[in-house]
C-alpha cells in the first residue's frame, strides 16, 4: 500500500495517547514502509524519538499537512505486526479494557537477538594405536597437555571441545598446535536452537499412528468434514483422562497439515511433560516446536521466527503460544481448557480461550477444546448450541476408574478420632505400605484456609448476600477476629458456638503439608515420605527431583498441594487421599465448587493408572454438598446442573458476566475514596441507562489488602450482557481521565478467575 501519511500508535501505555497519531512518510521510506512496522517518531513538545507501530497508511491528511511531523526511521530488525495481529490487538483492547499499545505488545512476540551457539567437537585424525604412540612421544618431550589429549582421544575418537578445555584442562593453543600437526581436527556446528530436549530428538522415530476407536474416529471425521467444507466452528471434547483425546488432537493436526494449514496446541505449562512432547515429536518430527517458560527470550524469538518462515507446522505451548505468527493457521487446540492458567494475570487480563476464539475468527481457523472437566463457560455454550460437543466416555486402555469413598469427618469426631486421617484412610495407607504400593495425599493449600466451619455439624459461615464462605481475619493486637466477605465486604463477629447445632467446635481451618508429614512419621514410622509444596520446591529443579524420586519408588507416600495432582502418572500409586475437600470448597469465591470438582476428578484420575486398581478417599465435613456427591460419582452432568442453578440464581458467570474493578493507591484514604467515587459513578450510569438488572457489589478492601505498600480496593459489577459491562468500563475510564488519576491505578478484570 502506498500513501503519504501513516497513522501510528505510540509505545506509551496511557489512556491519553491511546489513539493513532498521524505522521508524514519521508520519500526515502515510501517504498519500504508497511502497516504493522515498528518505526521511530519524534513525539511531544521535545520531539523525543520514541517507538511506534504503523496502523494505517493513507493519502488523507487529518490536519494541515505542513504541521505534521515526519517519521524518523524504521526500527531495524523489529518485528512487524501483521494485519491479523492488529485486528486481534483491537479485539483485546475492546474486550478487556487495555490500551492499544499494551494489547499490541501482548500479541506481538518480542524480537530478541540470540547469541549464535556453536558446538565444537575435537576429532582424532589418526587411529587409536597411533594416538597412543604419539602420546608416549609427547610424554618423552614433557609435553604433558598434548599427551593427555592424545591419550584421551585414543580411547574415544571424538570429544566435545568443552570437555577438552574443561575437564581435561587443555588450552585452546594446545588444540591449535595439534591441529597444525594434523593429528586432530575441530569441527564446528551451528546449533539452531530447538526448544526440544536433546534426548527427544535422538529418540525420534517417524510415525506412531494408532488405529482410532469408533468414538475417536467419529470426532475426527465430523471435525474434518466441516474443515474440508470450509466450516469453522468451536468444538468441545469432553473425555476423562486416558480416553484418547490427545490421540484425537494428533489425528486432527495431521489432517490440518495435509490441507496445507498449521496448528497451535495449548497445554497448561504444568502438563508439558516429556511424554506428551515425545508423542508429538514421534508423530510429526521436526515440524513441531515447543514453547515454555524456561526458554530464554532469544530461544523464544527463534521459535517465532521459524514459525513465521513456515519452517514448522505445529506449535505446542502455554498461553503465549497462541501468538505464534503462523501465516496459514488452520486450527487451535486447547487441552485442559478449564485450567485457570489460561487467564493472564497481567494487564490486559485476557483469557486464552476467548482470545483463541477471536483469533480463529480472524484467521478462519477451527477451535477445538478438550477437558475431562470442562469449564462451566464452555459447557454452557455447548448446551446452547454455540459449541459442538463430543464425548469420550471410556478409557482407551480399559482400566477401571478408581473406587471412591467419601469419609465424613464429623462422624470421625463423634467417634473420638481427632486425627486428620479417617479410620478408612488409615487402614488403606497401612495396607499399601504392606503391599509396597504408593499413596498420594493431597491438601488443597499450604497452611491456613480462612473459612470457619463447625466440626460437629459441618456448617460453614457464609455471606448472606453472596453465598460464598466468609474469611476469618484475626487482629494480632487485640486478639479478636472478624469474618469478612471478599466480594461485598460484609462483616460479622467471629462466633464461639455454632449457630446451627450450638457446638463449640466451630473454628478456622488449619492444616498444612508440613503438619501432615510430621503426623505421618508418627503414625506410620516405617513409611518413607516425600513432601511437595511451595516450601520444598523453591529451588529450580526440586520439583522434578521430588517427582522422579517418587517415580523411582524411593518413597511410599507423597504429600502435597495441588502441584501433585496434575498430569503425572505413577504406575505404583493405588491410593489417593484428599485430606480436606472443604479447603477448596470454601475458598471464598464463586468458582470454588467448580475448582473442587476439577480437583477431585483429577485426583481420582491419579489412582490406578496401570493394571493395579485404585482407591480414592475424599475426607470432608460436608459429604452432602452437591460438589462432593457428584465428584464421588464422577457425574459431570449432575454437577453442571447443580452448579449452573447456583450461578444463575446469584448472577455469577457464565449465567451472567462480572467485571472486577481493582483500585490501587499508595495512600489508604485515597484508594478507598477513589473506589467509592467509581462505585457511585457506576451506579449513577446504570440508573441513567435504566439498567436495573445490573448489580454493583462493594467497594471493599481486597482479600490481600496491601501488596508492596500499595493499598488495594475492589468492587464488582454484574450484568447478563457483557457489552453493558464493556460500556460501563469505557465510561469509568473517561471519568478516571477527567479526574486526572493515574491510569495504572485502576485495573479491570472481566469474568475474574482469581480472588482479589
Give the residues lining the site for ligand ADP (CB under 6 A): 210-213, 216, 239, 241-247, 396-397
Cα of 420 vs its chain's centroid, Å: 32
457 binds, among ligand ADP, Zn ion, none (CB under 5 to 8 A by kind): Zn ion
216 binds, among Zn ion, ligand ADP, none (CB under 5 to 8 A by kind): ligand ADP
Among 112, 503, 549, 743, binds Zn ion (CB under 5 A): 503
Least distance CB 221 / ligand ADP (angstroms): 14
Closest CA to 488 of 714, 186, 752: 714
* 397 is a contact residue toward Zn ion (CB under 5 A): no
Closer of 391 and 535 to ligand ADP (Cβ): 391
Closer of 455 and 630 to Zn ion (Cβ): 455
Report d(CA 711, CA 708) in Å as an integer: 8
Report d(CA 582, CA 106) in Å as an integer: 37
Least distance CB 468 / Zn ion (angstroms): 7
Least distance CB 614 / ligand ADP (angstroms): 16
Kindly indicate which of the ranges 162-170, 359-367, 493-501, 566-574 contains the residues binding Zn ion, using the contact rule CB under 5 A. Answer: 493-501
Least distance CB 667 / Zn ion (angstroms): 26
* Helix, coil or strand: residue 52: strand
**Per-residue cell: 71:** 517519521
List Cα–Cα distances, 657 to 374, 392, 488, 653, 673, in angstroms. 18, 30, 16, 5, 26
Please give the angle made by the CA atoms of 163, 166 and 171, to the nearest 5 degrees. Answer: 105
Closest CA to 283 of 307, 332, 247: 247
Least distance CB 533 / ligand ADP (angstroms): 26
Least distance CB 500 / Zn ion (angstroms): 5
Kindly indicate which of the ranges 484-492, 619-627, 642-650, 654-662 contains the residues binding Zn ion, using the contact rule CB under 5 A. Answer: 484-492
Closer of 512 and 567 to ligand ADP (Cβ): 567
Which pairing describes strands 573-578 and 615-620: parallel, antiparallel, or unpaired?
A: parallel
| Residue indicated by cell numbers 508418627 | 522
Report d(CA 557, CA 454) in Å as an integer: 29
Among 118, 172, 397, 500, binds Zn ion (CB under 5 A): 500
Instruction: Count other Cβ atoms within 10 Å, centred on residue 395.
Output: 17
**Per-residue cell: 63:** 490536519
245 binds, among Zn ion, ligand ADP, none (CB under 5 to 8 A by kind): ligand ADP
Report d(CA 151, CA 583) in Å as an integer: 64
Among 488, 580, 659, 736, binds Zn ion (CB under 5 A): 488
227 binds, among Zn ion, ligand ADP, none (CB under 5 to 8 A by kind): none
| x/- map, 258-297, Zn ion, by CB under 5 A | ----------------------------------------
Please give the angle made by the CA atoms of 600, 604 and 610, to the nearest 5 degrees. Answer: 160
Check residue 212 and report its DSSP letter: P
454 binds, among ligand ADP, Zn ion, none (CB under 5 to 8 A by kind): Zn ion
* 636 is a contact residue toward Zn ion (CB under 5 A): no
From start to end of 624-738, where are the E strands?
Answer: 657-665, 695-707, 710-719
Least distance CB 603 / ligand ADP (angstroms): 15
Least distance CB 254 / ligand ADP (angstroms): 14
Check residue 281 and report its DSSP letter: H
Buried b (16+ CB within 10 A) or exposed e, 57-66: beeeeeeeee
**Per-residue cell: 501:** 447445632
500 binds, among ligand ADP, Zn ion, none (CB under 5 to 8 A by kind): Zn ion
Q: Which of residues 421-460 bind Zn ion (CB under 5 A)?
A: 454, 456-457, 459
Closer of 372 and 516 to ligand ADP (Cβ): 372
**Binding-site residue total for Zn ion (CB under 5 A)?**
15
Among 5, 487, 639, 748, binds Zn ion (CB under 5 A): 487
Closer of 26 and 502 to Zn ion (Cβ): 502
| Residue indicated by cell numbers 523489529 | 78
Least distance CB 170 / ligand ADP (angstroms): 47
Alpha helix stretches (DSSP H) within 341-460: 352-363, 376-384, 409-414, 423-435
**Per-residue cell: 79:** 518485528
Report d(CA 216, CA 716) in Å as an integer: 42
Least distance CB 400 / ligand ADP (angstroms): 15
Closer of 284 and 756 to ligand ADP (Cβ): 284
β-partners of residue 123 are 158, 185
Closer of 266 and 697 to ligand ADP (Cβ): 266
Amino acid at each position: 500500500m502506498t500513501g503519504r501519511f501513516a497513522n501510528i500508535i505510540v509505545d506509551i501505555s496511557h489512556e491519553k495517547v491511546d489513539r493513532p497519531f498521524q505522521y508524514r512518510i519521508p520519500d526515502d521510506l515510501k517504498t519500504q514502509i508497511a502497516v504493522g512496522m515498528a518505526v521511530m517518531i519524534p513525539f511531544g513538545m521535545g520531539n523525543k524519538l520514541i517507538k511506534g507501530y504503523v496502523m494505517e497508511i493513507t493519502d488523507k491528511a487529518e490536519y494541515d499537512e505542513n504541521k505534521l511531523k515526519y517519521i524518523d526511521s524504521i526500527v531495524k530488525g523489529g518485528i512487524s505486526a501483521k494485519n491479523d495481529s492488529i485486528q486481534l490487538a483491537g479485539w483485546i483492547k475492546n474486550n478487556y479494557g487495555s490500551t492499544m499499545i499494551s494489547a499490541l505488545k501482548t500479541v506481538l512476540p518480542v524480537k530478541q537477538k540470540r547469541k549464535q551457539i556453536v558446538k565444537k567437537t575435537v576429532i582424532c585424525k589418526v587411529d587409536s594405536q597411533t594416538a597412543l604412540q604419539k602420546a608416549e612421544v609427547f610424554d618423552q618431550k614433557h609435553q604433558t597437555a598434548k599427551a593427555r589429549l592424545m591419550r584421551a582421544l585414543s580411547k574415544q575418537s571424538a570429544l566435545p571441545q568443552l570437555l577438552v578445555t574443561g575437564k581435561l584442562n587443555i588450552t585452546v593453543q594446545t588444540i591449535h598446535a595439534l591441529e597444525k600437526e594434523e593429528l586432530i581436527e575441530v569441527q564446528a556446528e551451528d546449533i539452531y536452537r530447538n526448544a526440544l530436549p536433546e534426548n527427544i530428538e535422538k529418540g525420534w522415530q517417524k510415525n506412531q499412528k494408532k488405529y482410532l476407536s469408533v468414538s475417536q474416529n467419529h470426532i475426527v471425521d465430523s471435525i474434518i468434514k466441516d474443515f474440508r467444507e470450509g466450516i469453522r466452528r468451536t468444538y468441545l471434547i469432553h473425555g476423562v483422562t486416558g480416553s484418547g483425546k490427545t490421540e484425537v488432537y494428533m489425528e486432527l493436526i495431521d489432517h490440518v497439515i495435509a490441507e496445507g494449514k498449521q496448528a497451535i496446541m495449548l497445554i497448561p505449562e504444568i502438563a508439558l511433560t516429556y511424554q506428551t512432547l515425545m508423542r508429538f515429536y514421534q508423530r510429526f518430527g521436526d515440524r513441531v516446536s515447543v514453547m515454555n517458560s524456561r526458554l530464554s527470550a532469544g530461544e523464544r524469538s527463534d521459535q517465532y521466527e521459524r514459525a513465521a518462515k513456515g519452517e514448522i507446522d505445529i506449535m505446542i505451548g502455554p498461553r503465549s503460544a497462541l501468538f505464534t505468527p503462523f501465516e496459514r493457521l488452520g486450527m487451535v487446540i486447547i487441552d485442559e481448557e478449564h485450567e485457570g492458567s489460561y487467564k493472564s494475570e497481567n494487564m490486559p487480563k485476557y483469557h486464552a480461550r476467548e482470545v483463541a476464539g477471536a483469533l480463529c475468527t480472524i484467521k478462519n481457523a477451527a477451535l477445538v477444546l478438550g477437558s475431562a472437566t470442562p469449564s462451566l463457560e464452555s459447557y454452557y455454550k455447548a448446551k446452547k448450541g454455540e459449541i459442538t460437543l463430543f464425548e469420550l466416555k471410556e478409557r482407551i486402555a480399559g482400566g477401571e476408574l478408581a473406587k471412591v469413598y467419601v469419609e465424613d469427618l464429623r462422624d470421625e469426631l463423634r467417634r473420638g478420632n481427632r486425627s486428620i486421617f479417617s479410620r478408612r484412610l488409615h487402614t488403606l495407607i497401612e495396607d499399601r505400605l504392606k503391599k509396597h504400593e504408593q499413596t498420594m495425599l493431597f491438601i488443597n493449600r499450604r497452611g491456613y484456609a480462612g473459612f470457619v466451619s463447625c466440626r460437629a455439624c459441618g456448617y460453614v459461615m457464609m455471606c448472606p448476600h453472596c453465598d460464598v464462605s466468609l474469611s476469618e481475619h484475626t487482629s494480632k493486637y487485640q486478639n479478636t477476629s472478624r469474618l469478612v466477605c471478599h466480594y461485598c465486604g460484609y462483616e460479622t463477629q467471629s462466633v464461639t458456638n455454632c449457630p446451627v447445632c450450638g457446638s463449640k467446635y466451630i473454628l478456622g481451618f488449619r492444616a498444612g503439608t508440613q503438619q501432615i508429614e510430621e503426623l505421618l512419621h508418627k503414625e506410620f514410622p516405617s513409611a518413607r515420605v516425600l513432601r511437595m509444596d511451595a516450601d520444598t520446591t523453591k529451588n529450580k529443579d526440586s520439583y522434578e527431583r521430588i517427582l522422579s524420586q517418587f517415580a523411582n519408588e524411593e518413597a511410599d507416600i507423597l504429600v502435597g498441594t495441588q502441584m501433585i495432582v496434575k498430569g503425572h502418572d505413577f504406575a505404583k500409586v493405588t491410593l489417593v487421599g484428599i485430606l480436606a475437600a472443604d479447603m477448596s470448597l470454601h475458598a471464598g469465591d464463586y468458582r470454588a465448587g467448580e475448582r473442587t470438582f476439577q480437583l477431585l476428578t483429577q485426583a481420582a484420575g491419579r489412582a490406578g493408572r496401570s493394571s493395579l486398581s485404585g482407591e480414592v478417599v475424599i475426607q470432608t465435613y460436608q459429604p452432602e454438598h452437591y460438589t462432593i456427591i457428584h465428584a464421588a460419582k464422577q457425574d459431570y452432568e449432575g454437577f453442571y446442573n447443580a452448579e449452573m442453578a447456583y450461578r444463575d440464581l446469584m448472577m455469577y458467570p457464565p449465567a451472567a458476566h462480572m467485571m472486577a474493578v481493582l483500585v490501587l493507591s499508595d495512600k489508604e484514604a485515597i484508594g478507598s475514596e477513589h473506589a467509592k467515587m467509581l462505585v457511585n459513578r457506576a451506579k449513577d450510569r446504570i440508573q441513567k441507562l435504566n439498567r436495573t438488572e445490573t448489580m454493583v457489589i462493594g467497594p471493599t478492601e481486597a482479600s490481600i489488602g496491601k501488596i508492596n505498600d500499595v493499598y488495594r480496593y475492589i468492587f464488582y459489577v454484574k450484568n447478563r450482557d457483557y457489552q453493558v459491562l464493556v460500556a460501563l468500563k469505557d465510561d469509568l475510564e473517561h471519568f478516571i481521565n477527567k479526574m486526572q488519576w493515574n491510569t495504572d491505578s485502576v485495573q479491570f478484570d472481566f469474568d475474574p478467575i482469581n480472588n482479589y
